A and B are shown apart, each in its own frame.
Chain A
């Protein structure tokens, strides 16, 4: 069929089954927007900043597992999108971002709104394309979606010069992709898997170390089965919250800089780490030479470059977690689960000794209480996104995540301003769920223009602002490591949150007591409108436990002990 390049872009998006595109028009991408106006195959959401468009597409991708699509114009449109690309890249999120470019003949002349998009995005995309001709456009679009979702997923940029969107040519969307230089490995090496299984059977203190790759691979059920079958205790990384489910008795918690005591001690004392889709990030390992010092390491990862990058691995398995765990399960028939009982008991004792706890208060709302409360009030029905800082860590520690893709946060890049637009994307994907962005009074302002987007398109997400009038995480480090010199972290000067939300077509709540909190949540859900919930929390609350940067995992600063009725799992 004969059509313009712009039409081809729309046809490809429809062919890929994308229902929602997030973006912002401009000069170089105008022809594509003209076609968007004419088509009915997908909805377009106009964010109020390109960064938010990419984060929204990212949130959509994380919530569904499908490829998210964002569209921006050349020059500043693209550069605004770069933080979004980098965020998705660090967390391996499948995105296709389409950017306009100045006409082919103007490239290299410093034209109006010209910037070298493929040059800038090279280190923060899985791959990128500058489309050279109309003939290659259908193939490039097909490859972009394929590369984004296959292997270790990631964002792909397609930069299209304006003249190519105008030109008319034959459109046949390819059925399949053949890139001779790109063949991801899915099946793990059978010999290695066999050896790994033997190691699991002969270990005394094995530990499942579960990373975000399990979520990306949709392998949560299999990993739950693996844990159940072997009765091997497990820790989750920040990106894997929800994989095993909070009620799972084998789950010790989150490990790392703000991991709980039992998780970090388990990693320090284990004799066999079974790493599934995790990448030994520095926020997880602490001091590398002390990390899992007594353990052999099984490392399952679809990205060979992750294996042996930071720690030496005894059983490297390159492959998709789904495929590898599937191959492991039958070989584990008859595994002696009693073997690990002593180990499980030690870890249970650690958890009793120093549970994940905080001192609650009747005078002021504790941020941890607010998060637990959300869990009690909404629980499984919620999708939680977050920004970056103390609130993010409290959410990861205290929210009872039941399922994968329930927890959406920028773990790798740590992008403040991610949570609100990502929540819009998640809510578009799952309108029946209650989507809550747990945020801080610092982060929320970094993409607050999205209030307008949310109000216009009636995307009712709740922004739970845990307001301590500080850039809290930096403040915490200043307290601990900079002799309380609170350099540029005091946010005493604040907007009128309620008025701000209302000015943009949303609702605002000012909350200072637990009763107000419950009432506000109830009302926000009933009102079904975007809101800012300004929750004044204890100003100097710290995120604990904490492993000081570069320290060994077992050297934790622990929270004050509290007598709490024992929770039964």
Chain B
């Protein structure tokens, strides 16, 4: 029965850096009815490959299918189902300058970040932490009336 329990999972997909490769990956998720919780993609330094990190959820059976179906795509080089990983997500948040800047600064510092930009009316803060902690940060930030929060999506690396 363990195989049928839905769980949050993170996979890394290493792909040839060619046009429409991202479309192939996302179309596969859409076409076969798999969920995407978050997705990040960037080129791998000094190579012709890109690294796609996808946070998704599904049972072990579904995950096995996702992995195998991804493997079948011609430009996919490798699929890593993360088990022991370090995962981080970055968030940018914009607050009115009227809020207590030192409090916001302290909050951000607690989540591996700080204030990165101060303008006439707004300040922008950045934090980078585990996805679960990012959730807590967003909850905690609510009392400072954020006008905009942008999440970056998960990146992960196997330990």
Contacts and interface: CB of A to CB of B under 8 A. Distances in A.
A118 B71 contact: no
A130 B19 contact: yes
A474 to B, nearest CB: 27
A130 B77 contact: no
A475 B75 CA distance: 45
Interface string A290-322: 000000000000011100110000000000000
The 5 closest A-B pairs by CB, nearest first: A305-B68, A181-B77, A127-B74, A123-B31, A182-B74
Nearest to A303: B72
Contact of A308 (B27, B64, B76): B64
Given A122-B27, A305-B65, A309-B65, A147 B74 contact: yes
Interface string B58-92: 00010011001101101111000000000000000
Contacts of A179: 74
A132 interface: yes
B74 A122 contact: no
Contacts of B23: 119, 122
B20 interface: yes
B151 interface: no
Interface string B16-42: 100110011001000100000000000
Q: Which of A122, A132, A181, A304 is the most central at the interface, judged by chain B CB atoms within 10 Å of its CB?
A: A181
Contacts, number: 35
Given A122-B24, A181-B77, A305-B69, 6 more contacts: A123-B31, A180-B77, A181-B74, A182-B74, A304-B71, A309-B65
A304 B76 CA distance: 15
A115 B151 CA distance: 34
A290 B129 CA distance: 48
B15 A130 contact: no
Interface string A524-544: 000000000000000000000
Nearest to A181: B77
A130 B76 CA distance: 18
Contacts of B64: 308
Nearest to A143: B74
Contacts of A305: 65, 68-69, 71-72
A182 B76 CA distance: 8
26 contacts: A118-B20, A119-B23, A122-B24, A122-B27, A123-B27, A123-B31, A127-B74, A130-B19, A132-B19, A147-B74, A180-B16, A180-B77, A181-B15, A181-B16, A181-B75, A181-B76, A181-B77, A182-B74, A303-B72, A304-B68, A305-B65, A305-B68, A305-B69, A305-B71, A305-B72, A308-B61
A46 B42 CA distance: 46
Interface in A41-74: none
Nearest to A318: B68
Contacts of B61: 308
Contacts of A126: 74
Contacts of A182: 74
B20 A130 contact: yes
